[in-house]
Amino acid sequence: MLLQGKKAIITGGTRGIGFSVAEVFLKNGASVALFGSRQETVDKALAQLKAENPAWEVIGMAPDLTDYAALDAAFSEVENRFGRIDILVNNAGISAREPLYEYTPEAFQRIMDLNVTAVFNGCRAAAIRMKAQGGGSIINIASESAIRPLSRVAGYGVAKAAVVNFTKY
């Protein structure tokens, strides 16, 4: 098993790409903490995974990824449960399909907060722990729209371009 004994956090892990990553990690021996936007979606994802294999070690929570203190507390909870954090997958993100002239400053800021600030927060919380334990891996999920902009998703493309550039550091 490729990930036997590894301990992972996956943001946006309750559906789509994040849920699929969680499934693959679990099938390959990892313990997984799913972070979702609402506890109801976290509970539903946990139930699906436990129905597939009750022996999988999977937990879930719904911290505010844009609030560093809240996210750091969630990382501490995972660390207390699993003993360490070996892998972070920053997958959470949102988009809005509106032309630029209809984007509100508040909607644009929300996209930046969840798609960029949350990535920074997760990377920082993970990096502090990984440095102390001697290593780990951080995977940031971006999008093709980071390098090839799509119409009507300007904020999303800008945010994912920031993730690509941040990841290079």
Q: Report the pLDDT value the prediction gives residue 136, as an integer from 0 to 100.
A: 97
Amino acid at 19: F
Beta bridge partners of 42: none
| Residue 70 backbone dihedrals phi, psi, to 5 degrees | -65, -40
Residue 133, classed as helix, strand or coil, is: helix
Q: Report the pLDDT value the prediction gives residue 143, as an integer from 0 to 100.
A: 75
The Cα–Cα gap between 24 and 30 comes to: 9
Question: Of 13-22, 25-34, 116-125, 146-155, which gets the smallest average pLDDT?
Answer: 146-155
Q: Is the pLDDT of residue 150 over 70?
A: no
Catalytic residue chosen out of the listed positions 68, 101, 103, 156: 156
> Residue 38: which region, alpha, beta or left (left: phi > 0; alpha: psi -120 to 50)?
beta
**Taking the CB of residue 156, how many other CB atoms lie within 10 A of it?**
23
Q: Is the pLDDT of residue 96 over 80?
A: no
Active-site residue flag, 156: yes
Q: What is the 3-state secondary structure (H, E, C) of 29-59?
A: CCEEEEECCCHHHHHHHHHHHHHHCCCCCEE
